[in-house]
Amino acid sequence: MPHSAITLATIKQPEIYLNVPSVALNNQTLQERHSKVLQAMARQHLDALVIYADKEHGGNFEYLTGFIPRFEEGLLVLHNSGEAVLVLGNENLKLAPHSRTPARVVHAPWFSLPNQPLETTLSLSEVLQQAGLVGQQRVGIAGWKLFTGPHDNPKPLFDIPAFIFQALQGALPSRCELLNATGLFISPRNGARIINNANEIAHYEYGANLASGAALTALNAIEVGNTEKSIAALLAAEGQANNVVTIAATGDRFENANLYPSDKQIRKGDKFSLTVSYKGGLTSRAAYVVSHADELAEGVKDYLDVVAIPYFRAVVNWLEHMRVGVKGHEVYELIERVLPKAEYHWHLNPGHLVADEEWLCSPIYPASDIPLSSGMLLQIDIIPSRQGYAGASIEDTIALADEPLRLKIAALYPELWRRIHSRREYIRNVLNIHLHEDVLPLSNTVGYLRPYLLNKAQALVCQ
């Protein structure tokens, strides 16, 4: 798309949807998840799979149990017979009966908070043996990292606490082979969690809708003199837990090493960053607190041409190129062509998968032959950086769905389908971005870029 085909125009804002009911994962979905993991274990010839979790890294555990271990570490031991055993500390024992995958429980008080009761005559290795880890020949350990990179490690790396890893070694025979099996869940090629059914897409759309609606409400409240905290308060939605740190930052970020919204007041000409994320979707925006270019500092008056429009063009190309079957390297090369890394200094994957986590994994990287598949949830995540300028950001979430999956979503979740249809109509008829039929916007603000935050009527559009 040529530079002249993008302009700043007065348009209506995207519609937001309030009081949307959340969608629970149904029993059939949990049974499918259990079966997918057992099938993947069989392909890797695993006798057992040990799934680690804590509050920050609980997605693989939650995929089967429906909960994360609050305050503590936790393990889910899944045997190739299908038997599941939860290994939990003091404060999560009460959650065991509610596990979506039926599981027996063994108590590991070492996982509990400091100075809580540690009354047991068993060692942690003996507790793990009670969980059935005795005599296996091949055991997978799922943490949360894949450790991909240019150099193959001669030995597998494990990202679980050393005291747990050592206890596993003590519980199992010395001849047992331990493997990093995190990829069983999150490999962008064949991980169990990268493909979502209609129920899962509806479940995660709740968070994408919530985040994008809150973000647009907060954008509309940005005014000179308001504080970061007052904007951030609008991002807290329906009591839901965030899966990343909420950002409402004016001026220079990280002053005094602070990550969180403060009492700093918004000033005209400030850079401003805003991010909120819930399960299923993150929305992020970055721009200037001005009404028009004349209010920018002298050295950045060309922000629209130097940063915002080139970035918007890249996002438009990304959105219009997305469809089932496109390979990861094609997307990477597309962004490199329209927004060269050497000039715009982006360094992360230009797009990644989301689920309970904001970043699950990414099939988009150089030389990736991984095809984008029906059921993937993708976040637009291209982060340009030009020295001296504010950033530009319109991170949001889409799903890819082939015709059978689209028909199933429409039949099972007609209200969700109406929201998706309305979002597509806005993107096509107002922003003039033409999505392939496989692309389902889960966020309300997909493609919506407001470069001057005090001018709430104008945004970039294609012509």
Q: What is the CATH number of the domain that holds 109?
A: 3.40.350
Please report the pLDDT score of residue 119 as a whole number.
Answer: 87
pLDDT, one tens digit per residue, over 27-45 is 999 999 999 999 999 999 9
Residue 148 lies in a domain: yes
Please report the pLDDT score of residue 1 as a whole number.
Answer: 44
Residues of 280-290 as b/e, b for ≥16 C-beta within 10 angstroms?
A: bbbbbbbbbbb
Residue 315 lies in a domain: yes
Cα distance between residue 434 and residue 423, in whole Å: 12
Please report the pLDDT score of residue 256 as a whole number.
Answer: 87
- Asked whether residue 3 carries a pLDDT value surpassing 80, the answer given is no
Q: Are both 418 and 368 inside the same structural domain?
A: yes
- Asked whether residue 2 carries a pLDDT value surpassing 60, the answer given is no
How many separate domains does the chain show? 2
Q: Are both 282 and 148 inside the same structural domain?
A: no
Please report the pLDDT score of residue 152 as a whole number.
Answer: 59
Residue 34 lies in a domain: no
Q: Which of 180, 206, 224 is the last residue of a domain?
A: 180
Q: Are both 230 and 135 inside the same structural domain?
A: no
Residue 36 lies in a domain: no
Residue 37 lies in a domain: no
Contact indicator for 95, 88 with CB cutoff of 8 Å: yes
Cα distance between residue 268 and residue 225, in whole Å: 9
Q: Are both 251 and 318 inside the same structural domain?
A: yes
pLDDT, one tens digit per residue, over 83-129 is 999 999 999 999 999 999 999 999 999 999 999 999 899 999 999 99
Residue 187 lies in a domain: no
Q: Are both 384 and 290 inside the same structural domain?
A: yes
- Asked whether residue 4 carries a pLDDT value surpassing 90, the answer given is no
The rounded percent of the chain whose pLDDT value lies above 90 is 95
Q: Are both 288 and 422 inside the same structural domain?
A: yes
Please report the pLDDT score of residue 150 as a whole number.
Answer: 63
Q: Are both 11 and 80 inside the same structural domain?
A: no
Q: Are both 88 and 206 inside the same structural domain?
A: no
Q: Are both 360 and 442 inside the same structural domain?
A: yes
Residue 188 lies in a domain: no
Task: Compute the mean pLDDT over every residue in the chain, rounded to the nearest whole number.
Answer: 96
Cα distance between residue 409 and residue 310, in whole Å: 35
Q: Are both 244 and 388 inside the same structural domain?
A: yes
Q: What is the CATH number of the domain that holds 379?
A: 3.90.230.10
- The residue behind tokens 């996982």 is 111
pTM over 0.75: yes
Contact indicator for 362, 378 with CB cutoff of 8 Å: no
Q: Which of 126, 151, 180 is the last residue of a domain?
A: 180
Give me the domain span that covers residue 102: 45-180
Contact indicator for 366, 329 with CB cutoff of 8 Å: yes
pLDDT, one tens digit per residue, over 408-460 is 999 999 999 999 999 999 999 999 999 999 999 999 999 999 999 999 999 99
Per residue, the 3-state secondary structure of the chain, as one string, reads CCHHHEEEEECCCCCCCCCCCCCCCCHHHHHHHHHHHHHHHHHCCCCEEEEEECCCCCHHHHHHHCCCCCCCCEEEEEECCCCEEEEECHHHHHHHHHCCCCCEEEECHHHCCCCCCCCCCCCHHHHHHHCCCCCCCEEEEECCCCCCCCCCCCCCCCCCCHHHHHHHHHHCCCCCEEEECCHHHHCCCCCCCCCCCHHHHHHHHHHHHHHHHHHHHHHHCCCCCCEHHHHHHCCCCCCCCCCCCCEEEECCCCHHHCCCCCCCECCCCCEEEEEEEECCEEEEEEEECCCCHHHCCHHHCCHHHHHHHHHHHHHHHHHHHCCCCCEHHHHHHHHHHHCCHHHHCCCCCCCEECCCCCCCECCCCCCCCCECCCCCEEECCCCCCCCCCCCCEEECEEEECCHHHHHHHHHHCHHHHHHHHHHHHHHHHCCCCCCCCCEEECCCCCCCCCCECCCCCEEEEEC
Q: Which of 131, 151, 180 is the last residue of a domain?
A: 180
Cα distance between residue 407 and residue 198, in whole Å: 9
Q: Are both 124 and 202 inside the same structural domain?
A: no
Contact indicator for 202, 409 with CB cutoff of 8 Å: yes
- The residue behind tokens 């990292």 is 145
- Asked whether residue 236 carries a pLDDT value surpassing 70, the answer given is yes
Q: Are both 379 and 404 inside the same structural domain?
A: yes
Residue 291 lies in a domain: yes
Handedness of CA 366, 372, 375, 380 (dihedral sign): positive
- pLDDT top residue among 252 and 75: 75
pLDDT, one tens digit per residue, over 127-170 is 999 999 999 999 999 999 999 876 556 688 999 999 999 999 99
pLDDT, one tens digit per residue, over 348-405 is 999 999 999 999 999 999 999 999 999 999 999 999 999 999 999 999 999 999 999 9
